[in-house]
Amino acid sequence: MTYQLLFVCLGNICRSPAAENIMNYLVERNNLQDHIKCDSAGTSSYHIGSSPDSRIRATAALRGLELLGSARQFDVSDLEKFDLILAMDRQNYRDILSLDVEGNYGHKVRLMCDFATQHREKEVPDPYYGGQAGFERVIDLLLDACEGLLREIRQTQLIK
């Protein structure tokens, strides 16, 4: 059985594609491609079809990470399709839950920073309107949170 993860931010061009690609990197490094699949989406339709933002790609590249993908909007069907949906901030979290009108999928939605062990932030800040330091902070947070997420999935899903 494949465990399916969906990373969600506002526009799906900075935080969520970075999380998706970082997690894919960790999954591949641990030879777990047959067990864990990743995707990302945005709660808005602002950037549908766009590649990850050039600034987040450049920041990730400095760490040896390549960010691939094409922005898409979160769809209500994602609530059923994915095993775990990871919101980058509280507003994304609320936006996702607002689509769960019958309250059947709230147990699948978590904040990304819940899995961070080295950082105290509760949300992954949106770096879009900031400077380089914001993009570096996002990559640091996501590396930490993705490592924690992988540890938890391996424990709870009994994936070796």
- Amino acid symbol at 29: R
Domain boundaries, the chain: 3-157
- Tokens in use for 153? 């999935």
Residues pairing with 25 in the sheet: none
- pTM, two decimal places: 0.97
Q: Is the pLDDT of residue 154 over 90?
A: yes
Query: How confident is the model over 44-80, as pLDDT tens digits?
Result: 999 999 999 999 999 999 999 999 999 999 999 999 9
Enzyme catalytic residues: 9, 15, 126
- The answer to whether domain 3-157 has CATH 3.40.50.720 is no
Pairing mode, if any, of strands 84-87 and 3-9? parallel
Q: Nearest 5°: CA angle at 65, between 45 and 81?
A: 45
